[in-house]
Amino acid sequence: MKPLIVKLGGSVVTDKRKPFLVKRKDLKRLAGELKAAKGPLIVVHGGGSFGHPLALKYKIADGYTGKNQLMGMSLTHRAMILLNSYVVEALQNADIPAIGVQPSSSTVLINGRIKSMDIGPIRMMLALGLVPVLYGDVVSDVKKGVKILSGDQIVSYLARRLGASKVIVGVDVDGVYADDPKGNKKSEILKKITPDDARLVASLGAAGTQDVTGGMRNKVLELLDLARLGIEAEIVNASKPNVLRGAIRGKNVLGTKVCGGS
């Protein structure tokens, strides 16, 4: 039972320019495209305009520094639960038996990396035919008190532990560029990235100001770890109709493959 894991970036399901604004039409379309998955499926989504602004405001990514952060942790977590409910609802409306899974109730971090996560319930959900839907969350950290657990790290962890058949990461650009395509219109798409491509880490554009989880650079780093284990990933523009559907069906869509070998 090797699941397909699909990550829906926060910029794909929310409008990052406006706090707490869901892209309802896009979410409805994406739910329809996810129906192309024939086997076990896990969905993970980012924080977008729900989680990132609050986490940034209260400096949660820096770890616990004082009681003035407690309300910020609570608000950030609540915002992510709200966004998760919108994603789950859209999937259910598309006749996908989605069920929200709260990472903070089953995960412990150490210096921002997953120390342990109870994936037993997720295995059982998959065996039943349910579709677990996880998200970036505020999670306890044995060294820092608390940290932000990114959806990208969740994807990488679950792919390793469950032996994913494939990982698809949906973003709002056509793949991975050597430079930020929103700032440099001449930047070219990197069609394939392998663990041998050391130059990439330095050349990738930095995260946006509202992203507390590392942006594209961290996405690629997480996926390169999977590539070393033989798990292929693809970064595609899920904001364009039918691109995600095509990737799920194994078609050659515009994007960047992260895989092993030259």
Closest CA to 108 of 146, 69, 70: 146
Q: Which two tokens stand for residue 205?
A: 């554009």
What is the rounded CA–CA span in Å between residue 258 and residue 256?
Answer: 6
On the question of pLDDT at 210 being above 50, the answer is no
Domain boundaries, the chain: 4-175+230-252
Choose the most confident range, by mean pLDDT, from 53-57, 152-156, 209-213: 152-156
- The overall average pLDDT reported for the chain is 91
Q: How confident is the model at residue 208 (pLDDT cuts 50, 70, 90)?
A: very low
Q: What is the pLDDT of residue 207?
A: 38
Which of 103 and 216 is assigned the larger pLDDT?
Answer: 103
4-175+230-252 homologous superfamily:
Acetylglutamate kinase-like (3.40.1160.10)
Which of 101 and 262 is assigned the larger pLDDT?
Answer: 101
Per-residue pLDDT tens digits for 118-134: 999 999 999 999 999 99
Q: How confident is the model at residue 103 (pLDDT cuts 50, 70, 90)?
A: very high
On the question of pLDDT at 114 being above 80, the answer is yes
On the question of pLDDT at 225 being above 70, the answer is yes
What is the rounded CA–CA span in Å between residue 11 and residue 4?
Answer: 21
Q: What is the pLDDT of residue 203?
A: 60
On the question of pLDDT at 213 being above 90, the answer is no
Per-residue pLDDT tens digits for 7-21: 999 999 999 889 999
On the question of pLDDT at 209 being above 70, the answer is no
Region 228-239: mean pLDDT is 96
CB atoms within 10 A of CB 145: 15
Q: What is the pLDDT of residue 260?
A: 84
112 burial via Cβ count (<10 Å: 0-12, 13-18, 19+): middle
Q: How confident is the model at residue 202 (pLDDT cuts 50, 70, 90)?
A: low
Q: What is the pLDDT of residue 205?
A: 53
> Strands 189-190 and 176-177: what pairing?
antiparallel
